Amino acid sequence: MGIAVGWSIGANDAANSLGTAVGSRVLTLRQAIILIVIFGFLGAFLQGSYVIKTIGKGIVPLDKLGRDLSFYVALVAAFSACAWVVLATYWKMPISTSHSIVGAVAGAGLAVHAPIVWKKLLDIFICWVFTPLGAALLGYIFYRIFKSIFYRFMPRKFVRFILSSLIILSGCYVAYTWGANDVANAVGVIAGTGVISVRDGILLGGLAIILGIITWGYKVIQTIGSEITNLLPIMAFSAQLASAINVHFYTILGIPVSTSHSIVGAIFGVGLVRGVRVVNLKIMREIVICWLLTPLISGIISFIMLKLMIFFLKTGG
């Protein structure tokens, strides 16, 4: 199930890294996927341990539960998160895998009356609120600044080349921070049970994410790249830089935030510079609804499944 969650993360969240580069026609879909694979894995391998500790033990202390019970919580939470993310990916909706696994872990914990660290959950929720808002603000500021710099002070024949290079570099930075933050969603609960070490979990989760990127990552890339707003190259660069800085900040703090929320918020922010009329409010409304439903639905699925599992185990015994 950890591999399945990793695959679903790669399928849904690959778009957050270089979807804007594809939308602004700086990279082809194939080129973007190759870069996401490389830098996403690097982020998971080098800094993935920060958030793994939060997912594995910070919400529900799996290491303090009985061995069998911790296995059940990990299994059901992983399945529930994966199921919801796969469904959203089929709909081409960029939802939060972080929200999905956090909601699923909390739901499973409630089902077995495990001690839930409510303060940590509150901290995570507050960060969730500020993730898209902060990214939108940074995106708005960066676009206004860079628009003035590039179009006023740089020779026009070099603008396109420089912007294309910056879009690729900032997209690779997004992929790195995404891998560092989101690998925990795949293997955090597994590492929390002690079945595998954090380092082995990072390798397993990173490889599973790569599989998801390669097989199904193109679907949400189309939504991120072209359906929220039409992106000029300088808008894509501003959005990617804003999103990467935003997510990297929370990763260092060990907070599982949504790269989906961050990049969508950043795209919305740069779109506002040109006026709200250029933003596709219909697709934004659908995305926000999915955001709000994600932790609730995955938590409910997890709660019901674990209750049923325990019931059948007791009945069978």
Q: DSSP secondary structure string, 101-141?
A: HHHHHHHHHHHTT----HHHHHHHHHHHHHHHHHHHHHHHH
Query: Can you give the residue range of the structural domain that contains 171?
Result: 2-316
Q: Tens of pLDDT along 8-63?
A: 888 877 766 777 777 778 888 889 889 988 998 999 889 988 888 788 777 888 87
d(CA 71, CA 194): 10
Residue with tokens 């997912």: 55
Confidence of residue 155 (pLDDT cuts 50, 70, 90): confident
Residue 199: in which H helix or E strand, if any? helix 198-216
156, pLDDT greater than 60:
yes
| Number of domains the chain contains | 1
Q: Give the pTM.
A: 0.82
Return mean pLDDT, the chain. Answer: 84
Q: Tens of pLDDT along 241-293?
A: 999 999 999 999 988 888 878 888 888 888 888 775 656 677 667 777 877 88
d(CA 22, CA 227): 12
Q: Is the dihedral of CA 229, 232, 235, 236 positive or negative?
A: positive
d(CA 276, CA 173): 28
Q: How far is CA 16 from CA 33, 55, 201, 297, in A?
A: 11, 21, 23, 22
Q: What is the pLDDT of residue 8?
A: 83
208, pLDDT greater than 80:
yes
Which of 104, 225, 227 shows the shortest CA–CA distance to 174?
Answer: 225
